[in-house]
Amino acid sequence: MQLGAQRRMIVHAPWGVLIASLAVSLIGLYNLMSAARSMWTSQAIYLGVGIAVLVAVTLVDLRFIQSAAVPIYLLNIGLLLLLKLVGTRAKGAESWLVLGPFRVQPAEFMKIGMVLMMAKYFHDDDRPAAPSYGFLRLLPPLVLAIVPTLIVLVQPDLGTALMMTFTALTLIAFARVKWTVVVAAGVVGLLGAGVIWNDFARPVPEGEKRVTLIRHHMKKHQEGRITGWLEPESDLKGTNYHSMQSKIAVGSGGFAGKGWKEGTQTALRYLPEQHTDFIFSVWAEEHGFLSCLLLLLLYGVILVGSLGVAYQSRDRFGAFVAVGIAAMIFWQVFENIGMVTGLLPVTGITLPLMSYGGSSMVSVMLGLGLLANISMRRHLF
Amino acid sequence: MKLGRSTTGKDLRVRFFWVGGFFVFGIFVLAVNLYRLMVIRHDEFLALSIDNQFKDVRVRAPRGQIRDRRGEVLVDIRPSFDVFITPAFCLKCATEVIPQLADLIGWDEAQKTRVIGAVKAAHGPQRYQPMQVDTDLARDAIDRVNAVVHRLPGVEVDKVPHRNYPAGPALAHVLGYMNEVTQDELTRLNGAVDVQRSPYALGDYIGRRGVERSYEGMLRGKDGWNKQVVDARGKPKEEFPVKEVATPQPGNNVVLTIDARLQAEAERVFPGAAGTIIAVDPRTGYVLAAVSRPSFDPNMLTGRVSAKQLQEMAKDPLQPMVNRVAAQHYSPGSTFKPITLIAGLRSGAYTEHTTAHCTGGFRLGARVWRCHSVHGTVAAVTGLQKSCDTYFYSIANAIGIDAVAAVGREFGLGQPTNFSVAAEVPGVMPDVAYHDRVTPGGYQKGMALNTAIGQGDVDVTPLQLAMMYAALGTGNLYQPQVVDHVETPDGRLIQKTEPKLVRKIDISEDQHRIVIDALSAVVNIGGGTGGRARLKGPMSGILVAGKTGTAQVTRIGDVRLKKEQMDYFERDHAWFAAFAPAEAPEIVVVVLNEHGGHGGSDAAPAASAVFQKFFELKAGDSVAFGPGWSPPPPIKVAAPPPKAVDAGTALAGSPPPPAPAPATAEVPVATPPDTEVR
């Protein structure tokens, strides 16, 4: 490749997204120093690995990635199935694959594999004459999304499965669906809400047994989280403990926060998993409302920037990948902060770039690398 | 490779704005919710975060008592008022709070700087843990602090149960003491048990040494648990109801075989700077008293000891932490001689009347083994009575060291007594094989001679010697024990210690009689070395049988020095071991006065005092309705002369006596026993 082309690639890198991501990562490290003390050094190493992965991904030709989408997708599914055989259990789920000194969560990487696969499908299936997708045409991408999601769901990793579902739905919506599909989706949504209302919220006369549709198929902790979400002030020592302690942490932070390493909820260890899923509560408790807004703003920059990359991409595959990755990040941020602030039920979802954990960090960096790759090669098309 | 269209198409472009708008809306929702929590409801959550949390709160179970055989409390718990500071809540701690506190309690400058240093050193979660800064506040200091405690943020005065040893250093080696459980012990003790409600917590005390340690499992109760609303410091809030999850179970009481009164007397009469007095019941092996000097104060070691004090104790040449009853061994000196005598009798080479002639020494080859005097012709009883070394040299020379060692081992020497509550050393009972193994040049005949008089390599612990004398008196060797039984706080028996017979000694009646006669002669016949152990006054009818010992610590030079002319650590150990009554022993007493001088003058009198006390107590404790009791004779009162009464009063029952009549009737009841005694 010529030098000029290389310089153009550097100029075309999505600097806004990259700088905002780096800023969030550094905030995450600083925050971990308070939350988990010794863990921030490991996290710094994960960040270094993540950045290396990001750079490496930008060096690969996008067309190669596009042609490799099917093998990547199948490899990820293979890894997930392998997990069923040799996975290591942690906190009740078979989510970890142990490779020597490393422990990898294949589900984190499955998300990206799924986005690539769906993007490739929508790219190949481009019919300018008939831009909208009806039920039949949606069948293949739905299958592509449902297979890995189901495997993740039975791990059981409900959180990641939900994230994959929402990411896939965002991509499908983005691909433009017929109004009949929209109506059907609306009906399904209403039915779902109705089922939840029937199973959890419908007033049942004294002494009569509640007739449930799906509730009796749920695991105890999943059921508890939905009831906890619907009745946030109930069972504060049990199912709602996490949610309540998290809300106390966030709410007690106030406008200015209690100060770095001064959070009592953190110091007294009222919140388990505070360094992973509930990391946002540490930031909120110790740094206050304005710093939370700053963090949201940075995520906003990443999301809008990602959509900008998609917008400027002259290639359908690139555009879909960029939207998919943006959707992936958005849903994780939305669900994570939503759950920490009691808006959504508790599911095991990490906050991108903030939560402690190597797999999460590397998979997000992988996604950002793809974004940069798309952005940097837009002049090629 | 086939690519799609090189532009994404106008149709897609509009949807970017839809998706972007959706994302921005999502983030806006999050921001609004954050505003709601962090700004609008801030006060509510702040209050929750510093105030109320549900927590499992430990309710400490009281630890069991240790009592003597009669129920006198030797160890219990008492409340201690301690001052705590929680650094995180102590504002202006070093500049205002601590100086104020120092004035109220009366700390000196050093204490004040120490506390300030400790508070400043706390960091991280430690800052939320209450830190003990002073203990055992006086009543008026508590009042002074409590009066202004609301102006001292982070300061609390709390009542904490504290282990109490009323006897102080007395019996400390047997009772033991307590201190904080270590991190290693925590992981070992709590092991796989529920981490949330572990039996031991950091800061708990655990028994060290003695009964406190070996009966830890019995003495320690089971802590209870309350589910309680606590503030962020983990302190229970009184105004909320308490839900009891597990009731605390108090620890069991351990009752010892020790008689506190005898122990007190033994402590009182102990003559020297270091050493021991042991009293044992020879019929059971139960220890009645066990003095070990110098001792330590368990009240101090139990959480009240400073590093400086520990250092001083470690440097003390008399080693107060060493339990001299069993954890130290000494040359027994002449107290060993009964073993040699029995070995001689058992060999057949010596009878009661076999004599030896003492000219002040015994020649073996080119060397002369010294005797401390010139005794002339002695036999079994006179030889032991006068403690004539020459007599025992001649026995050892005739029968050899192995024959002596065999008897010594039969009496329990050279092996642990299995006295379970305290660490012990096995002592040394040398024989040929031992010397071949240990001594450079191997076994020499002269070693048998040294062993025969309890010098050379033979070493015994005072406890071994006591059990040996018990066996000499009764013919039975028992295992020494100090715990009589364990009972629940309400007095239900859990565990009873039975006497443990180690072995019956293989000794003929005749041999036994000779040994008792000889030991009795030592004390009771003029010219014996133990005359000062004789009992006096009303107890003089009780015969004490025993043996003195003066164990050399260093080689005797050409000139025998007087006690006062030698350095303390070069002076002889004074021993006295005895039992009484000689014919049917009820108590064995061993006195060891380290570097005290002569057994007869520096150990025997103390033993005598212990015997005296024992038999006085026995007389005092004697049963009220024993054989000596006879009921006072009934007093006969003559029936009143018949009187004419009308039918009405006769029907009412007994004749109505005038009011003073019973009083006059009672007076003679009290007098007749009086007159009978006279």
> Do B8 and A316 make contact, defined as CB atoms within 8 angstroms?
yes
B234 interface with A at CB cutoff 8 Å: yes
Distance between CA atoms of residues A182 and A188, nearest Å: 10
Query: Which of the two residues, A6 and B484, has the higher pLDDT score?
Result: B484
Q: Percent helix, strand and coil across chain A, each rounded to 5?
A: 70, 5, 25
Fold of B261-311+323-487+498-621: Beta-lactamase (3.40.710)
Query: Is residue B60 very low, low, confident or very high in pLDDT (cuts 50, 70, 90)?
Result: confident
Answer whether residue B668 shows pLDDT above 70: no
State the DSSP code for B544. P
Q: Which of B448-462, B496-510, B519-533, B650-664 has the lowest mean pLDDT?
A: B650-664
The type of residue at B189 is: L
Helices (H) and strands (E) in chain A, counts: 15, 3
Angle separating helix axes A39-59 and A358-376, nearest 10 degrees: 30
Mean pLDDT of B636-662: 59
The type of residue at B647 is: A
**A296–chain B nearest CA distance, Å:** 7
A294-304 pLDDT per residue, tens: 999 999 999 99
Distance between CA atoms of residues B669 and B634, nearest Å: 8
Answer whether residue B213 shows pLDDT above 80: yes
> Do A307 and B19 make contact, defined as CB atoms within 8 angstroms?
yes
B20 interface with A at CB cutoff 8 Å: yes
Query: Which of the two residues, B4 and B429, has the higher pLDDT score?
Result: B429
Query: Which of the two residues, B670 and A349, has the higher pLDDT score?
Result: A349
> Do A334 and B27 make contact, defined as CB atoms within 8 angstroms?
yes
Provide CATH 3.40.710.10 ranges for chain B: 261-311+323-487+498-621
Q: B368-374 contacts: CB < 8 A, separation 24 or more? A: B369/B393, B369/B446, B369/B449, B369/B450, B370/B556
Please give the pLDDT value at position B466. 96
Query: Is residue B218 very low, low, confident or very high in pLDDT (cuts 50, 70, 90)?
Result: very high
Please give the pLDDT value at position A239. 65
Query: Which of the two residues, B113 and B55, has the higher pLDDT score?
Result: B113
Please give the pLDDT value at position B661. 44
Please give the pLDDT value at position B179. 87
Chain A residue with Cα closest to B55: A237
**Which residue carries 């009691």 as its tokens?**
A342
DSSP result, A178-200 = -HHHHHHHHHHHHHHHHHHIIII
Answer whether residue A123 shows pLDDT above 50: yes
Query: Which of the two residues, B534 and A35, has the higher pLDDT score?
Result: B534
Answer whether residue B559 shows pLDDT above 80: no
Query: Is residue B665 very low, low, confident or very high in pLDDT (cuts 50, 70, 90)?
Result: very low
Query: Is residue B677 very low, low, confident or very high in pLDDT (cuts 50, 70, 90)?
Result: very low
**Chain A contact set for B42 (CB, 8 A):** 251-255
Answer whether residue B91 shows pLDDT above 80: no
Mean pLDDT of B309-320: 90
Q: Which token pair is B534?
A: 């004789």
**Which residue carries 């003491």 as its tokens?**
B177
Q: Which of A193-207, A243-257, B442-456 has the lowest mean pLDDT?
A: A193-207
Please give the pLDDT value at position A117. 94
Answer whether residue B7 shows pLDDT above 60: no
What is the C-alpha end-to-end distance of chain B, expressed in Å?
A: 136
B469-501 pLDDT per residue, tens: 999 999 999 999 999 999 999 999 999 999 999
Answer whether residue A94 shows pLDDT above 60: no
Would you say B534 and B568 are in contact if contact means Cβ atoms under 8 Å apart?
Answer: no
DSSP result, A339-380 = HHTTSS-----PPTTTSS-HHHHHHHHHHHHHHHHHHHTGGG
Chain A residue with Cα closest to B18: A174
Answer whether residue B88 shows pLDDT above 60: yes
Please give the pLDDT value at position A254. 86
Answer whether residue B395 shows pLDDT above 60: yes
**B182 Cβ contact list (under 8 Å, min separation 6):** none
Answer whether residue A75 shows pLDDT above 70: yes
**Which residue carries 């021993």 as its tokens?**
B575
Please give the pLDDT value at position B653. 47
Answer whether residue B426 shows pLDDT above 90: yes
Percent of chain B with pLDDT over 70: 87
Query: Which of the two residues, B307 and B278, has the higher pLDDT score?
Result: B278
Residues 231-250 of A with CB under 8 A from B: 236-237, 247-250
Would you say A349 and A336 are in contact if contact means Cβ atoms under 8 Å apart?
Answer: yes
3-state secondary structure (DSSP) of residue B539:
helix
Please give the pLDDT value at position B256. 95
Element containing residue A86 per DSSP (H, E): helix A69-86
Please give the pLDDT value at position B239. 57
Distance between CA atoms of residues B522 and B380, nearest Å: 12
Percent of chain B with pLDDT over 90: 48
A340-375 pLDDT per residue, tens: 998 888 888 899 999 988 888 999 999 999 999 999
B55-185+198-256: CATH superfamily: Penicillin-binding protein 2a (Domain 2) (3.90.1310.10)
Distance between CA atoms of residues B59 and B223, nearest Å: 6
Query: Is residue B515 very low, low, confident or very high in pLDDT (cuts 50, 70, 90)?
Result: very high
Distance between CA atoms of residues A274 and B438, nearest Å: 65
Q: Which candidate, B355, B462, B340, places its Cα nearest to that of B406? A: B340
> Rounded mean pLDDT of chain B?
85
Interface probe with B: pick from A120, A177, A235, A316, most Cβ of B within 10 Å: A316
Q: Which of A57-61, B123-127, B644-648 has the lowest mean pLDDT?
A: B644-648
Distance between CA atoms of residues B676 and B361, nearest Å: 63
Query: Which of the two residues, B245 and B579, has the higher pLDDT score?
Result: B579
Mean pLDDT of B573-602: 92
Prediction ipTM score: 0.91
Q: Is the peptide bond before B332 cis (omega within 30 degrees of 0)?
A: no
B10-53 pLDDT per residue, tens: 667 788 888 999 999 999 999 999 999 999 988 888 877 765 55
**B161–chain A nearest CA distance, Å:** 26
Query: Is residue B591 very low, low, confident or very high in pLDDT (cuts 50, 70, 90)?
Result: very high
Distance between CA atoms of residues B620 and B70, nearest Å: 13
Answer whether residue B100 shows pLDDT above 80: yes
> Do A251 and B16 make contact, defined as CB atoms within 8 angstroms?
no
> Do B27 and A303 make contact, defined as CB atoms within 8 angstroms?
yes
Query: Which of the two residues, B15 and B504, has the higher pLDDT score?
Result: B504
Interface probe with B: pick from A17, A252, A290, A292, most Cβ of B within 10 Å: A252
B122-159 pLDDT per residue, tens: 765 566 667 788 888 888 888 898 888 878 878 888 88
Please give the pLDDT value at position A290. 94
Please give the pLDDT value at position B614. 94
Query: Is residue B263 very low, low, confident or very high in pLDDT (cuts 50, 70, 90)?
Result: very high
Q: From the CB of residue B400, how many other CB atoms can be counted at a distance below 10 Å?
A: 17
Instruction: Pick the most confident of B117-121, B258-262, B630-634.
Output: B258-262
**B419–chain A nearest CA distance, Å:** 47
Largest CA distance in chain B: 149
Please give the pLDDT value at position B513. 94
> Do B23 and A307 make contact, defined as CB atoms within 8 angstroms?
yes
Q: What are phi and psi of B569, to 5 degrees?
A: -75, 0
Please give the pLDDT value at position A99. 65
Q: Which of A7-21, A47-61, A256-270, B280-294 has the lowest mean pLDDT?
A: A256-270
Please give the pLDDT value at position B237. 60
Distance between CA atoms of residues A309 and A122, nearest Å: 18
Provide CATH 3.90.1310.10 ranges for chain B: 55-185+198-256
- Residue B38 has its nearest CB partner, among A250, A327, A342, at A250
Answer whether residue B656 shows pLDDT above 60: no
Chain A residue with Cα closest to B46: A252
Please give the pLDDT value at position B5. 47
Answer whether residue A25 shows pLDDT above 80: yes
Please give the pLDDT value at position B672. 43
